[in-house]
Structure 1
């Protein structure tokens, strides 16, 4: 039996399948992987900009970086792989998506049960008091209307804790899953990289580079997230 048909069998047998996605899911929509080693913005290592230190002490640089990230999302939209996962949720094939991505594409595609483990770039708020604000207010470098604090996107900066509700939800669903499909993440970022090992179910890995993960997963697909999901979906419908 080939790998696609093996996974189709597992999907049909599973009563609780969970998907975990990372940057490789979004790059196929044209979103830059801002954690790439080369750095895609002014040749600066993003980890030196996307942190509390920059937010509090070099806000102009922090603001410029996140304005560039907003700009990079313009014209990008969910691809067919996102829409397949949304359709699988509607059909009861998967029950949940946990994602490291902050672009909101899973929800935009139609998934309703999504844990955004690194937050959402669209959820602008005050860093000091947490009051919600508009993206436009952030672009124009306005301050909070409640406490005059600095505005920021609602994403997890380097060194910050993950959103507790999203983390606990993802942890519970993965722990109790029959099948976990990990898509488009190098599993380098802690603590999300610990989640696959938390399940007692079968583990599947879809990524452009799978070398080194052979012992960690029951099934591996090396290649495009979108194209692999299209192949699996076609076999499911066949």
Structure 2
């Protein structure tokens, strides 16, 4: 159902347990490419051909070139009003969980704290041989090595063909199942298991709201939908009424 800002704002204001799921559309408003379609090509290759464990095993230099290029590009990006509005929503809500499919860390830069990163974080690197993991926003060497065991480090992101981190997935499912309202923002709802969270929340009694530039395959299953830029819609959900008198 296409809803008004006022209707959804009333639901947000009245909710004690808010869960938000964000996708690439939120980051796109900060200038982060989605890496899909014609705009998703890099040196004639698709992101799907590079963000894969087999690609890393076959040609780690090419994969790290891709990720270092992405990191360089993301250093120029800043949180947009959608990120900032979600951080404000968290501060004003008794129980708040932000589940994101994005790996750029922009939610944290905006001040969000309760962030569940389904697909990891491009600023973290980890060793596939030992337990070493660190967050590093500096420029990395072409083939960064583990300081502990000297193995080749990899981005701490979930690649195509890999499973999500079980603890993060469990926490996301638990949050969705206990939500009063679930906002699905800037995602087409096609990537599993994130795409199933709205249905899970709905089956447990939550109100589901889609915020997206245009209708998605899941629009018809949502209780309410707001179509437009997240950076314009979300700040309006946080506006407080003027006090008169």
- TM-score normalized by structure 2? 0.90
Local SS of the residue matching 2:42: coil
Local SS of the residue matching 1:145: coil
- State the shift of 1:139 in Å: 2.9
Aligned residue pair count: 237
1:129 matched to 2:130? The reply is yes
Change (3 A) 1:9 1:67: same
> What is aligned with 1:107?
108
Structure 2 gaps of 5+ residues are none
> What is aligned with 1:34?
35
> What is aligned with 2:117?
116
Deviations 1:177-230, CA, capped at 9 Å, x for gaps: 110000001112121111111113110001112143332101111111101112
> What is aligned with 1:231?
236
> What is aligned with 1:59?
60
Deviations 1:123-146, CA, capped at 9 Å, x for gaps: 111122241255658434232222
- State the shift of 1:98 in Å: 0.5
Local SS of the residue matching 1:193: helix
Deviations 1:81-125, CA, capped at 9 Å, x for gaps: 111111111111761100001111111111111101101111111
Structure 1 gaps of 5+ residues are none
Q: Distance in 2 between matches of 1:13 and 1:192?
A: 25
Residue 207 of structure 2 is aligned with which of 199, 202, 213? Answer: 202
> What is aligned with 2:83?
82
Q: Distance in 2 between matches of 1:124 and 1:135?
A: 10
Give the RMSD, CA atoms, in angstroms: 2.0
Residue 165 of structure 1 is aligned with which of 147, 167, 172? Answer: 167
Residue 225 of structure 2 is aligned with which of 212, 220, 227? Answer: 220
List, as ranges, runs of 4+ consecutive aligned residues in structure 1 with deviation greater than 6 Å.
Answer: none
Change (3 A) 1:135 1:109: closer
